[in-house]
Amino acid sequence: MSMVNGFTPDDAARLTEQERRLVERRERLLGPAYRLFYERPLHTVRGEGVWLFDEQGRRYLDAYNNVASIGHCHPRVVEAMHRQAQQLNTHTRYLQEGILDYAEQLLGTFPSDLDRVMFTCTGSEANDLALRMARHYTGGTGIIITQFAYHGVTGDVAELSPSLGRGMVLPSHVRTVRAPDAYRLGADNVSALFEADIKAAIQDMQAHGIRPAAIVMDGIFSSDGVLVGPAGFMAAGIAAAQAEGLLYIADEVQPGFARTGLNMWGFMRHGVQPDMVTLGKPMGNGQPIAGLVGRSEVVDCFGRHMRYFNTFGGNPVSCAAGKAVLDVIQEQNLQQQSHAIGGYLLEGLSRLAQRHACMGDVRGAGMFLGVELVTDRVTRQPAAEQARKVVNSMREKGVLISASGPLENVLKIRPLLTYTQEHADMLIEAVDTAMADIG
């Protein structure tokens, strides 16, 4: 399966001889499972702030990477890692204060009933651990996800990620529900439909002798096409699932850490109470660190019966990076900046939609935006080819975004949290020019 906006062998003719050799070397050494962005893959050699630089020194405005969300090679994070690496870097089976200081600061950003944290290296590991805990706590195996979800790449979690491709066959204990798509289902309908789909999934599990364990949801439904509103639409469905004994695992790997603006965590937009929250991607601004935050009742039930150890999860250098990220977000008011600049971007892109008929819907929360492209606003026929052209056109113009969604027609825009209005204007102008290019 080719990735949305992914490089394919058919694109090789567009490359220079040097680029072709690099692509061929990569495939020979790394194999075919890896994917590259863009028809003409970007050869990055340096990052600084909101910019990435290629091997020729050309800079690209980064409006996609959610890992270095506070800026590429942020000096506070680099210094924290450097300082800690000079002192100590080992596993969590020794007493260390750094992990505890970070844990207290991190938990302080959550509701008080989410009072335990466990550390991993990746969001995939965090989701894998959450599934283990849910099964242990409930005694069930049944899981509910959305139809085009992505939750990671470990064995168990990949089976909950239908967006990985047609080769990913869902196991018998997994049920899918429609993503709450306000554009296609109607804003007034999504909450009731979401709740009804969840109840139907639970009933179907029970009819087949499957005991439900958890519902796993990315609160901004990023792989489903960046579905952000209306705020609160998840509440009834999640409450229905929890009433039936399912644990709600809020996958915050993409919407977390101030990404959605008004709230530190995406689930907060919907007035829901997770049993566990999984974290990853921007947590260390590039240093691999992820984790699980949960209710002590759930975490302790698991811990009383199981040892958990992750060689690199929660190591001192990663915790130092994580703490530096939180410090920067809090000290520089990046959550408020995400809300303000995100709103400015939403308004600017919405104005563009008045001039470009292909822009069927513009939606966003903070610094997470989606632009759904259609060939006809009445029929809402998806414009996947146009989305691919826009993404590649913007790459050539020096601005990086991507595309997502089951129909492959949603521009996926995730600016770095440190964007200023000047950067936002550059992004809006690039979208405008790219949309004009496709007619």
Q: Which two tokens stand for residue 321?
A: 């990076």
Q: Which of 368, 366, 367, 376 is nearest to 409 (CA)?
A: 376
**Residue 4 pLDDT greater than 80, yes or no:** no
**Residue 119 pLDDT greater than 70, yes or no:** yes
3-state secondary structure 407-431: CCCEEEECCCCCCCHHHHHHHHHHH
Q: Domain residue spans in the chain?
A: 1-40, 42-70+334-438, 75-331
Contact in structure between 220 and 414 (CB atoms under 8 Å): no
Q: How far apart are CA 371 and CA 412, in angstroms?
A: 7
pLDDT in tens, 224-239: 999 998 999 999 999 9
Residue 378: band (very low, low, confident or very high) from pLDDT cuts 50, 70, 90: very high
Residue 35: band (very low, low, confident or very high) from pLDDT cuts 50, 70, 90: confident
Question: What pLDDT, on the 0 to 100 scale, is given for residue 348?
Answer: 98
Q: How far apart are CA 276 and CA 266, in angstroms?
A: 13
Which range has the worst mean pLDDT, 142-151, 161-170, 338-347? 161-170
CATH topology agreement for domains 42-70+334-438 and 75-331? no
Stretch 267-295: mean pLDDT: 97
**Residue 6 pLDDT greater than 90, yes or no:** no
Return mean pLDDT, the chain.
Answer: 95
Q: Which single residue is written with the structure tokens 């200081």?
A: 101
* DSSP element (H, E) containing 183: helix 182-185
In order of 340, 354, 357, 364, 409, the CA distances from 350 in angstroms are: 15, 7, 11, 10, 17
75-331 has which fold? Aspartate Aminotransferase; domain 2 (3.40.640)
Question: What pLDDT, on the 0 to 100 scale, is given for residue 176?
Answer: 97
Q: Which single residue is written with the structure tokens 């590039």?
A: 286
Contact in structure between 291 and 109 (CB atoms under 8 Å): no
In order of 124, 160, 276, the CA distances from 153 in angstroms are: 6, 9, 19
Question: What pLDDT, on the 0 to 100 scale, is given for residue 1?
Answer: 38
Question: What pLDDT, on the 0 to 100 scale, is given for residue 217?
Answer: 97
Stretch 251-268: mean pLDDT: 97
Question: What pLDDT, on the 0 to 100 scale, is given for residue 3?
Answer: 65
DSSP alpha helices (H): ranges in 31-74?
none
Give me the helix-helix angle, 235-243 and 190-207, nearest 10°: 20
Stretch 325-341: mean pLDDT: 98
Backbone CA torsion sign across 220, 225, 231, 233: negative
Question: What pLDDT, on the 0 to 100 scale, is given for residue 2?
Answer: 46
**Residue 165 pLDDT greater than 90, yes or no:** no
42-70+334-438 has which fold? Aspartate Aminotransferase, domain 1 (3.90.1150)
The amino acid that residue 290 corresponds to is A
Q: Is 62 helix (H, G, I), strand (E, B) or coil?
A: strand
The amino acid that residue 345 corresponds to is L
Stretch 289-310: mean pLDDT: 96
Stretch 406-422: mean pLDDT: 97
Contact in structure between 94 and 315 (CB atoms under 8 Å): no
Q: Which two tokens stand for residue 191?
A: 């909450």
Question: What pLDDT, on the 0 to 100 scale, is given for residue 167?
Answer: 80
Backbone CA torsion sign across 265, 394, 422, 425: negative
Contact in structure between 248 and 361 (CB atoms under 8 Å): no
The amino acid that residue 23 corresponds to is V
Other Cβ atoms closer than 10 A to 17: 7
Q: Which two tokens stand for residue 43?
A: 């050869």
Q: Output phi, psi for 16, to 5 deg.
A: -75, 165
First to last CA, the chain: 29
Contact in structure between 300 and 276 (CB atoms under 8 Å): no
Rounded percentage of the chain residues whose pLDDT exceeds 90:
92
Q: Is 214 helix (H, G, I), strand (E, B) or coil?
A: strand
β partners of residue 291: 119, 279
Q: Is 363 helix (H, G, I), strand (E, B) or coil?
A: strand
Question: What pLDDT, on the 0 to 100 scale, is given for residue 299?
Answer: 98
Strand order in the sheet with 276-279: 114-120, 290-295, 276-279, 247-251, 212-218, 142-146, 174-177
Which range has the worst mean pLDDT, 64-73, 161-170, 290-299? 161-170
